Amino acid sequence: MKSSGDSGASAMSIGALAARFGLATHVLRHWESMGLLHPVRDAGGRRRYGADDLTRVATILMFKQAGLGLDTIRSLSDTVDRADRHVILRAEAEALRSRIAAARASLEFIEGGLSCEYEDVTKCPNYWRLIAEQVGRAAAGRTPPDTAA
**pTM, to two decimals:** 0.68
Residue 129 buriedness (CB in 10 A; 0-12 / 13-18 / 19+): middle
Q: What is the mean pLDDT of residues 7-18?
A: 81
Fold of 1-67: Multidrug-efflux Transporter Regulator; Chain: A; Domain 2 (1.10.1660)
Rg of the Cα trace of the chain? 25
36 and 69 in contact (C-beta within 8 Å)? no
Number of helices and strands in the chain (H, E) = 7, 2
List pLDDT tens digits, range 25-47. 999 999 999 999 999 999 999 99
**Whose CA is closest to 116, among 100, 102, 130, 135?**
130
Which residues have CB under 8 Å from 85's CB, separation 6+? Answer: 76, 79
- Quote the CA–CA distance of 12 and 19 in Å, as a whole number: 11
Q: What is the mean pLDDT of residues 85-105?
A: 94
